[in-house]
A = this chain, B = another copy of it.
Amino acid sequence: MQRKREREQQQLYLIEGAHVVQEALKQAKPQYLLATQAYATADWLQDWQADLIWISDEVAHALAETVTNQGIFAAMPLPAQVQPDTLTGSWLLLDRVQDPGNIGTMVRTADAAGLTGVVLGTGSVDQFSPKLIRSMQGSQFHIQVFSGALSEWIAKFKAIGTPVYGSELNPQAVSFREIQPAHNFALIMGNEGQGMSDTLLQQTDQNLFIPMQGAAESLNVAIAAGVLLFQLQAVDKD
């Protein structure tokens, strides 16, 4: 299940680690669970005995993509690619972002900022790749994650009056500090090296930039997303 083609043939993807497996089991029934004897007395596994296959430490080591592993894995059914129930709320759209670590960090950040969902545009990393699954650390079970053509998503957001913001390294663009926080928006972040595509930049309502005071040439894309999301997302008073 390390490759996209195999995942699609089997209609399964693999997650690993006790915390993320527990998050996954709150959402869906696994095809099967794999665990080492270290989990023989784990309370939270008691409900899943029928789905559980015991494995040796050697098998766990071979299954894991990382040097260290926690000895527990779940093969989860690949969800049918569905449409979101609602497009209201705030969304992060990723245009050809390449690094699974950056994408996972942005999904976690979107989760922490209270967003509704994240859309991985065509040309981004596959949503179920093991590296991305690991990097999202379970946040994909807290907020909605979709894949699709961003121009179609942009059109849908505009149709319901949700402002769509692009981001670019262009001091002629609008400073992010000028945008009033809101509960409805879509923000697009672009590729690590090239930024957003020109085509998408022309489809947005406004394009934002983060003024840089120092001599730095750019911010890491996930840092920029964090700065923008915590500015754009309206915070409800307690």
A226 CB-CB contact with B under 8 Å: yes
Most buried by B among A110, A219, A230: A230
Please give the number of chain A residues whose Cβ is less than 8 angstroms from any Cβ of chain B in the complex: 32
A71 CB-CB contact with B under 8 Å: no
Q: Give the contacts of A213-228 with B (CB-CB under 8 A).
A: 213-216, 218-220, 222-224, 226-227
Contact B109 A142 (CB under 8 A): no
A210 CB-CB contact with B under 8 Å: yes
- In the assembled complex, the CB of A212 is this many whole angstroms from the nearest CB of chain B, namely 4
Within the assembled complex, what's the spacing in Å between the Cα atoms of A216 and B223? 17
Within the assembled complex, what's the spacing in Å between the Cα atoms of A219 and B112? 7
Within the assembled complex, what's the spacing in Å between the Cα atoms of A224 and B230? 10
A105 CB-CB contact with B under 8 Å: yes
Residues of B within 8 A of A139 (CB): 214-216
**A110-130 contact mask (Cβ, 8 Å, vs B): 1 or 0:** 111111000000000000000
Contact A109 B235 (CB under 8 A): no
Contact A216 B112 (CB under 8 A): yes
- In the assembled complex, the CB of A68 is this many whole angstroms from the nearest CB of chain B, namely 14
Within the assembled complex, what's the spacing in Å between the Cα atoms of A45 and B216? 23
A161 CB-CB contact with B under 8 Å: no
Residues of B within 8 A of A87 (CB): none
A148 CB-CB contact with B under 8 Å: no
Residues of B within 8 A of A230 (CB): 210, 227, 231
- In the assembled complex, the CB of A238 is this many whole angstroms from the nearest CB of chain B, namely 9
Known interface pairs A177-B235, A226-B227, A230-B210; A105-B220 also in contact (CB < 8 Å)? yes
Within the assembled complex, what's the spacing in Å between the Cα atoms of A233 and B214? 12
Contact A109 B223 (CB under 8 A): yes
Residues of B within 8 A of A173 (CB): none
Q: Give the contacts of A90-114 with B (CB-CB under 8 A).
A: 105, 108-114
Within the assembled complex, what's the spacing in Å between the Cα atoms of A220 and B212? 21
A84 CB-CB contact with B under 8 Å: no
A143 CB-CB contact with B under 8 Å: yes
Within the assembled complex, what's the spacing in Å between the Cα atoms of A96 and B143? 31
